[in-house]
Amino acid sequence: MTALLERLGLPTDAPAVIVSGLGLGVSHAANAGVYSALRLGAATSTALQMPCPWARHAAARVTSEDDVGVQLTVNAEHEQYRWGPLTQAPTLLDGDGGFPRTVDDMWDHADVDEVHRECRAQLERARQWGVDVTHLGSHLDALLLRPEFFDVLLELAVDAALPVRLAPAARERQVGFPYRDLAAEAGVLHPDHVVAPRRGLRLNEALAQLAPGVTEVVLHPALDSAELRAYNPDWTTQVEDHLLLVDDSEVGGRLRAVRTIGYASLREAQRQG
């Protein structure tokens, strides 16, 4: 797991960490939480969900110092908070005003060509809005765990020369195809490990036990607000993620003790070939 560190020109005797605060564009609470974590806290990267209602607000606040990718989005998981495709994509609608709520529903009904057009439109709109896109991800891993949809993600990553966030290697055995090998064969870089701790203790444990290579830590920070509480039953977890990244001294101390990077480093290494 030192090959990526070597590609990045980093010492191989210590791990590196990308700290991602996701959810940018979903709501005002998420935008405020992500940006404070990115600029005042420990986050080093984020990703825009382009179809979401607050995406334009988020994109307008991106600066040249921000490490911002595009979290390709073909699901709208909340019961009463809906968003839908940027393109004409009938198979990406669930009949209730937006994308399918579940990944399984998307997999069962989505036309691959419509998914491809929609995802390309999301990437292009981010660029049109002035975002210097550093990487691609997949909301709810919807494009990662089925081969036909992973092909869409991989083709976009190759065409745009962008690294990607992949699911942990252990998922390959569950889904039955080698997405990490396929990315490597296409010359697309990705972190060696991805962890998504949901409580402070687990985050501290993850940071204390970093494996060799590059690890991405994924959280979803948001500010406590009536808006957040209204649409997300799991709002307390997002508020806690924000506090961990901005106010937790133990987490901050552990992150200061390791090398932190953003996806822009991977993008540069990938484009250098």
* Tens digits of residue pLDDT in 51-93: 999 999 999 999 999 999 999 999 999 999 999 999 999 999 9
Dump pLDDT digits (tens) for 182-213: 999 999 999 999 998 876 568 888 888 899 99
Average pLDDT over residues 37-62: 96
Residues spanned by the domain of 84 = 3-272
pTM of the complete model: 0.96
CATH number assigned to the domain comprising residue 181: 3.20.20.370
| Model pLDDT, residue 24 | 98
Identify the residue with better confidence: 119 or 255.
119
Q: What DSSP string describes 112-173?
A: HHHHHHHHHHHHHHHHHTT-----EEEGGGTTTSSHHHHHHHHHHHHHHT--B----TTHHH
Q: Please give the Cα distance from 185 to 150 (Å, whole number).
A: 14
Provide the sign of the torsion angle of the four alpha carbons 101, 197, 59, 26, taken in this order: positive
| Model pLDDT, residue 199 | 60
| Model pLDDT, residue 200 | 59
Residue 182 CA: distances (Å) to CA of 148, 152, 177, 185, 186: 13, 12, 9, 5, 6
Average pLDDT over residues 11-15: 92
* CB proximity list for 236: less than 8 A, separation 6 or greater: none
Mean pLDDT over the full length of the chain: 95
Average pLDDT over residues 162-176: 91
> How many independent structural domains does the chain possess?
1
| Model pLDDT, residue 190 | 98
Q: Please give the Cα distance from 180 to 207 (Å, whole number).
A: 23
- Element holding 48 (H helix, E strand): strand 46-48
Q: Please give the Cα distance from 138 to 141 (Å, whole number).
A: 5
